[in-house]
Structure 1
Amino acid sequence: MGDIEAPTSSQRSRSVLKSVLPSKEFATSRKGMLLIAEVALSFISFVCFAASEAAAFVTVPLLAFLATIFFLFAYSTKFNERFKGFCFPLMDFIRCVIASIIFFIISIMAVSKYSDGSSKAAGIFGFIATIVYALDFYLIFNELTGFLKQGGESNEEPSGQREDISDSDSD
């Protein structure tokens, strides 16, 4: 019988880690970098709010962190392509709009109402997160409008053929 070697614990941990972390090509893409920045900023903001007098606002960065982790995982594992029933770009757009608005509001409140250093830091990181989320929803919005201008059709059929067919029926 042939010798079959069981994987070592370090090989198993590397394979588990490789399946959980995003691939290098996704992490270096524009969407990957935005999602990683959103995860980092929402986590830093969560930690700052948890350590500050403005601890009442800790829920917002925590929920933004969890939602962004989900989308990072979904995009990096191509989970979004397997489920055609969900419109992932639209859900991602709504997530970014809500997160940017709420981060902006709580950042203003943290900076203006509280005087401790961690509240100020949470507010600053919240403002930076607002900018990153707003950039993400702007880019998603441009992609969605481009898709809607095409009428939701695939790129395989040129729009010129569709117009020729519709012109011949209008006799």
Structure 2
Amino acid sequence: MGDIEAPNSNRPRQNVLLSVLPSKEFASSRKGILLIAEVALSFVSFVCFAASTAAAFVTVPLLEFLAALFLLFAYSTKFNERFKGFLWPLMDFMRCVSASIIFFIISIISVSKYVDSSSKAAGIFGFIATIVFALDFYLIFNELATFLKQGGESNEEPSGHQDEFSNSDDSD
């Protein structure tokens, strides 16, 4: 008799790992490349800040690493399409804006105030992360602006939010 908890010898173990990693199509897309870069740069910046005398700034790269990792997982597994109640593009936009501003500030402070090499490296990686986050929020802003100019006729956004905007346009 078959035991339910016995491992299935027909199924390879690498499928579990492949189900967690982003798909090849998403990883090669523009959004996938930006999210992977954000995850990598936030992690490297986190490690550099943790090893430096500017360890007080370690929270920002850690939080941005976790947020970017969550969105990478959500977008690659199409988790965001199952939860239409959240405004995913707006949430992603606000994350990128706040990350670019905060990374820029802590990078300036770590490069100018601290003299150890790991603080300088964390600042340099923070500046690179600032550019990547700024590029991401610029692209998200352009997509949102195009969506709003079209009157919200795309299938990407929930239709409940479109009625609020179209009623206010009719009264003008």
With the shorter chain as reference, the TM-score category is 0.7 to 0.9
Q: How many residues align?
A: 151
Q: 1:9 to 1:58 in 2, by over 3 A?
A: farther
The 1:9–1:115 alpha-carbon spacing in structure 2 relative to 1, beyond 3 Å, is farther
Amino acid at match of 1:127: F
SS in 1 for 2:12: helix
Is 1:26 paired with 2:46? no
Residue of structure 2 equivalent to 1:166: none
Between the aligned partners of 2:82 and 2:11, the Cα distance in structure 1 is 31
Please give the per-residue CA displacement for 1:108-167, whole angstroms capped at 9, x wherever unaligned.
000000000000000000000000000000000000000011111237xxxxxxxxxxxx
Residue 40 of structure 1 is matched in structure 2 by 40
Distance in 2, Cα, partners of 1:10 & 1:104: 47
Aligned-partner residue type, residue 21 of structure 2:
L
Aligned equivalent of 1:11:
12
- Partner of 2:53, secondary structure, is coil
Match of 1:85 in 2: 85
Q: How much does 1:8 deviate? A: 4.0
Is the partner of 1:25 in helix, strand or coil? helix
Deviations 1:64-106 (A, max 9, x none): 0000000000000001111111110000000000000000000
Following TM superposition, where does structure 1 have runs of at least 4 consecutive aligned residues deviating by more than 4 angstroms? Answer: none
Inter-partner Cα distance in structure 2 for 1:17 and 1:117: 36
How far apart, CA to CA, are the structure 2 residues paired with 1:52 and 1:6?
Answer: 45
Match of 2:170 in 1: none
Closer, same or farther in 2 for the Cα pair 1:123/1:150, shift >3 Å?
Answer: same
Tell me which amino acid in the other structure corresponds to 2:130.
T
User: Please, what is the CA RMSD of the aligned residues?
Assistant: 1.8
- Residues 52-131 of structure 1: pairs in structure 2 closer than 5 A: 52-131=52-131
1:7 is displaced (CA, Å) by 3.4
CA distance in structure 2 between the partners assigned to 1:99 and 1:11 by the alignment: 39
Q: Distance in 1 between matches of 2:11 and 2:39?
A: 27
**Which structure has the bigger radius of gyration?**
1
Whichever residue aligns with residue 8 of structure 2, its letter is P
CA distance in 1, matches of 2:132, 2:108: 16
Residues 1:142 and 2:168 aligned together:
no
User: How far is the alpha carbon of 1:9 from its aligned partner?
Assistant: 9.8
